[in-house]
Chains A and B, each alone.
Chain A
């Protein structure tokens, strides 16, 4: 794709910056930014962050492969668990929470994909740090929206990550293909799986961004963040399929948004969610997404009102 440099939006940005110090009437009135300008700015942000991420690609690929190592332990652990309650394999295979031994391994592999979409390392703490150190002033002056900027850089990071991680992921899934007893799901289910991954990414983003906005009210959020991360790790289904939880706890957890970060996409792929309920579940997920977008926007607007920046 060819793109002119500097993109048309960049000029607009420069002038807007300098207008802070230079009296505005020295310049002819600026044309209002068109949608084309915006797209150009977004493209520029995306491209820069993409380049930034691809610098450490070797380390990246190796790190991704290493991240699958704990799954080996999980395979042995679950084989031993299923072995002690009945047959781990075969036609009368034992089940825990609707998952057989092979399902369980497939589940852990799929949550790795789900987490690759929904985990946002450093997002909330990064926002809180920007607020604390006053870096956030930049976004109050420049005609760039903080949340849109963060979202774009995050998308770029994720794209760079997938571009490199696809090889180790493909290798591991190929080696572990026997664990997927059901094979590929039907096309509608697969599309729902893809949709839940994308929404999982967005929910993860807006949830963490909203938590980061707490930084406008409290200076130190790291401990609060840790508690939330702990809950999210446990209740997202990253450690075990949520259906293993006792009935009463499961009812509550089903109404929380954490399950969309890991459990839900994996359960869709393994067809553990009945097809007639799938559409309803997807709508609930979309509802949570809208909720977090609004929450994040309100928190940012309120926070900026409270915020006072000094110096420069």
Chain B
């Protein structure tokens, strides 16, 4: 317990230091927030245009406009948190391996993975978290007040939603730490950010749309059962937008599977991270 408190204190210090650093260049911080929000606005515009032409994403999937915007809000919550807390650290980790700076991290009397994962917080990314909040609030309001098929999520589904958003973040974190740990073997992994972009690109749409054809089915299987990135957004968004109880198609099993995969991917990435440290050869002096 005392050990846990110590880790929380260390993390608070990291967060505070990052905030101080960000606030030193306030205008830059502000512009970063504005540019992330601009990107968000553009995406929202794109989806609004799509829904000008269609009632839902996919026949019979239930992802109508209001529900799909809840889905987008979930994507935004998860991605902004991952990018705020883990993205800068994962990039720095790759760089530390190349420059030999990892030596100093290994020497510190604290868990190395913790130190590597939480050192920097990119506070400006949290602007997208608030953008996600606005999108979620508007679509929940629309969903509750519309004429046809109005819906208010139950307290239980909200709680489950929060739990599985956290699970989603943990899966994304595992994928990211695995990717950056590979730089121990590859020497350098500059395309980490690109990989990240392509992976999140798959996870940002309802998983049903992939489940067809000779290209889609293998992709669906791979990204659901092996690298479970399709579960990251889909499971919490389904829980909130479209209650899973008493469904015929067995979609509720994805919730159980997401929980299992969260535990598994965190453990697997931790194992791989430690394995990669064993292969680390310092580059200094």
Q: Which residues of A are interface residues toward B (Cβ below 8 A)? A: 63, 66, 69-70, 72-73, 76-77, 79-81, 83-85, 96-97, 222-223, 226-227, 230, 233-234, 239-240, 244-246
Contacts and interface: CB of A to CB of B under 8 A. Distances in A.
Contact of B57 (A80, A223, A239): A80
Interface stretch (B194-202, B257-265, B272-280): B194-202
A96 B50 CA distance: 9
B196 to A, nearest CB: 12
A66 B58 contact: no
Specify the main secondary structure of chain A where it touches its partner: helix
A72 B55 contact: no
A118 B78 CA distance: 33
A116 to B, nearest CB: 17
A97 B49 CA distance: 11
B202 A81 contact: no
Interface string B18-59: 000000000000010011001100100110011011111111
Nearest to A222: B31
Nearest to A95: B53
A73 B199 CA distance: 10
Given A81-B57, A84-B54, A72 B219 contact: yes
Contacts of A246: 52
B215 interface: yes
Nearest to A70: B201
Given A97-B53, A244-B50, 13 more contacts: A76-B216, A80-B59, A81-B57, A83-B58, A84-B54, A84-B56, A85-B53, A226-B35, A230-B35, A230-B42, A234-B46, A239-B46, A245-B49
A233 B38 CA distance: 12
B17 interface: no
A46 B98 CA distance: 34
B146 to A, nearest CB: 18
Contacts of B227: none
Nearest to B204: A73
Given A77-B57, A230-B42, A244 B49 contact: yes
Contacts of A239: 42, 46
Given A234-B42, A240-B46, A244-B49, A85 B215 contact: no
Contacts of A97: 53
Contacts of B194: 63, 66
A240 B45 CA distance: 11
Contact of A223 (B31, B61, B204, B216): B31
B205 interface: yes
Contacts of B198: 66, 69-70
A223 B208 CA distance: 38
Interface residues of B, number: 34
Nearest to A83: B59
A80 B216 CA distance: 12
Contacts of A222: 31
B205 A77 contact: yes
B205 A81 contact: no
A161 to B, nearest CB: 17
A84 B59 contact: yes
B210 interface: yes
8 contacts: A69-B201, A76-B210, A76-B216, A80-B209, A83-B59, A85-B54, A244-B52, A244-B53
Contacts of B58: 80-81, 83-84
B285 interface: no
A76 to B, nearest CB: 5
A73 B205 contact: yes
Contacts of A70: 198, 201
A80 B38 CA distance: 27
B191 interface: yes
A226 B205 contact: no
A85 B55 contact: yes
Contact of B191 (A63, A85, A245): A63
A224 to B, nearest CB: 10
Given A76-B209, A81-B50, A230 B201 contact: no
A100 to B, nearest CB: 12
B120 to A, nearest CB: 21
A134 B105 CA distance: 40
Interface-centre pick from A63, A77, A230, A240 (highest chain B CB count, 10 A): A77
Contacts of A240: 46, 49-50
A63 B54 CA distance: 34
Q: Closest 9 interchain pairs by CB?
A: A80-B58, A80-B209, A76-B209, A96-B53, A83-B59, A223-B31, A69-B198, A84-B59, A84-B56
B42 A80 contact: no
A235 to B, nearest CB: 10
A73 B46 CA distance: 15
A227 B38 contact: yes
B26 to A, nearest CB: 14
B17 to A, nearest CB: 25
Nearest to A62: B191
Contacts of A83: 58-59
Contacts of A76: 205, 209-210, 212, 216
Interface in B185-230: 191, 194, 198, 201-202, 204-206, 208-210, 212, 215-216, 219
A73 B42 contact: no
A72 B216 CA distance: 9
A84 B57 CA distance: 7
A79 B58 CA distance: 8
